[in-house]
A and B are shown apart, each in its own frame.
Chain A
């Protein structure tokens, strides 16, 4: 009788605890602060219904983003190649993985990702959704070179993670799906919208004559014609998030989008990156071949290479490009640098 009573009491206690957990650990919706320019000019960001932003989920995602436990030998985190001080990329042409191996593409900067309306991520668009993208680096043998089972076990054995997952997702059982969901939540909070040019558009800053002329070169179809791929004052993302062959090579060693679609017409096409924060994101292009902005501008001005898939927006290929004057090049660079967001790279709330 006594045993039965103890059993019954324990059962009731457990039931009580379980219901209390559910009661206590209801995540708080995260208030994504949408910058004024984005709210005025753009459609709403993409937040998946099966992974809404919560205070607990974002905080957990941030902790995971900076945690080296995700790598095979506990030596690298996401932030190793996506350094907040570098607008969430790094300064090397190719990042080295935990075994000292190098990839073939430059680490992409991370910001304003919730406004990638097509949700095709990485240089060749192979990952559909931020959640799916986050699966890749952990198991990639030349990046973090771990496996998700091992990562989940390590996190499960940690003193704090089970409780943080319980708070974020209502379960303390950790798996790769929840880890990537949390990281994706954090990544959606990385918003850059406080550059000098943003302030100019809001009437809070003045451009120099050089920056102003540089913006005109950028927007002039007969000069830079950059806006067709890289946005404008009405598209503060400064990218179309589409894939273009911008005339880097006559033949391709990296097929880019073509590798994903299998369509030869997509060979040599890569995502047009945002031109925000170029001050922090050198080297440039999908393979980091250009170390300076001057080299980038020279490429579009005189360095275009003809190929079968080169974008029709690339003009005067026989002359190597649009042949900007020295002054227009310098002014274009000044404008591009006016899109640098110092507040973003120094924002403590998204840093470790």
Chain B
């Protein structure tokens, strides 16, 4: 009898232990990591404020502020957005939980689609001053990219490469819009347990492909420039690519 009792206790303890182990195992997660480069040369906020980059058009530039909005990452399974602030090194890594193993198309949107770009709706974006004036249709910036460049007169001058929904304000009483946010499809990724996915962001692409960007012609006041917004949107499509998946 005593032997059976000991056996029963051992069995109960074993089951109990199993249960405890199950409860405490961390669920698998995906770490989505945005890394930045200038034509392959890694770039962080330590590289800010230095005239160390050259655009395809030949202008020497520095970066002083760089933050952009990513929305609808398909792996998260719900409507979402994140603000990547390179200058403050925030939002550059996102942990996504509860993604089952498998092969996925990794997609997300640069900016907010017209349907989601609703003036004043997002408290976090309001709090960090990311909104767009009502006179330009409201909603939010997609990117604030500020810095300096050496202009044709050999003077250091500022640029504000800000992207928003394109607005034609020929008639201020009847603004016309074009959605310049765009979906990015980085292709198939294999998710197996904890996985880190690198998203490479080549800043130099904003200035070259398909529109060769001349900062001397387009450096500031771009928010209300309908054609410039469409050009920036086109250039943005080659900025993001898939890096290492491990």
Q: Do A and B bind each other?
A: yes
Binding site for B on A (CB under 8 A): 40-43, 115, 117, 216, 219-222, 227-229, 231-235, 240, 265, 308-315, 317-318
Contact of A42 with B123 in the complex, beta carbons under 8 Å: yes
How far, in whole Å, are A228 and B124 apart by their CA atoms in the complex? 16
Interface residues of B in 109-150 (CB under 8 A from A): 119-120, 123-124, 126-129, 131, 133-136, 144, 146-148
Chain B residues in 8 Å Cβ range of A317: 157-158
Chain A residues in 8 Å Cβ range of B237: none
Interface of A is mostly: loop
| B159 lies within 8 A of chain A by Cβ | yes
The residue that A233 contacts in the complex, of B127, B134, B136, B156, with Cβ under 8 A, is B134
Query: Can you show 10 pairs from A to B with CB atoms below 8 A apart?
Result: A41-B120, A115-B127, A221-B133, A221-B223, A221-B224, A229-B129, A233-B120, A234-B131, A309-B49, A315-B220
Interface residues of B in 222-241 (CB under 8 A from A): 223-224
Chain B residues in 8 Å Cβ range of A229: 129
Per the CB 8 Å criterion, the residue count for chain B at the interface is 31
How far, in whole Å, are A137 and B169 apart by their CA atoms in the complex? 51
The residue that B158 contacts in the complex, of A227, A232, A235, A315, with Cβ under 8 A, is A315
Interface of B is mostly: mixed
Chain B residues in 8 Å Cβ range of A227: 129, 133
Contact of A240 with B126 in the complex, beta carbons under 8 Å: no
Greatest chain B CB density within 10 A among A117, A220, A221, A235 is at: A221
Contact of B124 with A43 in the complex, beta carbons under 8 Å: yes
Chain A residues in 8 Å Cβ range of B155: 318
- Given A315-B220, A317-B157: A235 and B65 interface contact (C-beta under 8 Å): no
For residue B13, give the distance in angstroms from its CB to the closest CB of chain A: 38
How far, in whole Å, are A228 and B129 apart by their CA atoms in the complex? 7
Given contacts A221-B221, A232-B133, A318-B155, 6 further A-B contacts (CB under 8 A): A221-B160, A222-B224, A232-B129, A311-B64, A312-B160, A317-B158
| B48 lies within 8 A of chain A by Cβ | yes
Chain B residues in 8 Å Cβ range of A308: 156
Chain B residues in 8 Å Cβ range of A318: 155
Taking CB as reference atom, which chain B residue is nearest A265?
A: B49
How far, in whole Å, are A117 and B134 apart by their CA atoms in the complex? 25
For residue B165, give the distance in angstroms from its CB to the closest CB of chain A: 14
How far, in whole Å, are A234 and B126 apart by their CA atoms in the complex? 6
Taking CB as reference atom, which chain A residue is nearest B145?
A: A312
Chain A residues in 8 Å Cβ range of B156: 308
How far, in whole Å, are A308 and B156 apart by their CA atoms in the complex? 8
Contact of B158 with A312 in the complex, beta carbons under 8 Å: yes
For residue B156, give the distance in angstroms from its CB to the closest CB of chain A: 8
Taking CB as reference atom, which chain A residue is nearest B136?
A: A221
How far, in whole Å, are A313 and B144 apart by their CA atoms in the complex? 11
The 3 closest A-B pairs by CB, nearest first: A312-B158, A265-B49, A219-B133
Contact of A234 with B119 in the complex, beta carbons under 8 Å: yes
Taking CB as reference atom, which chain A residue is nearest B87?
A: A242
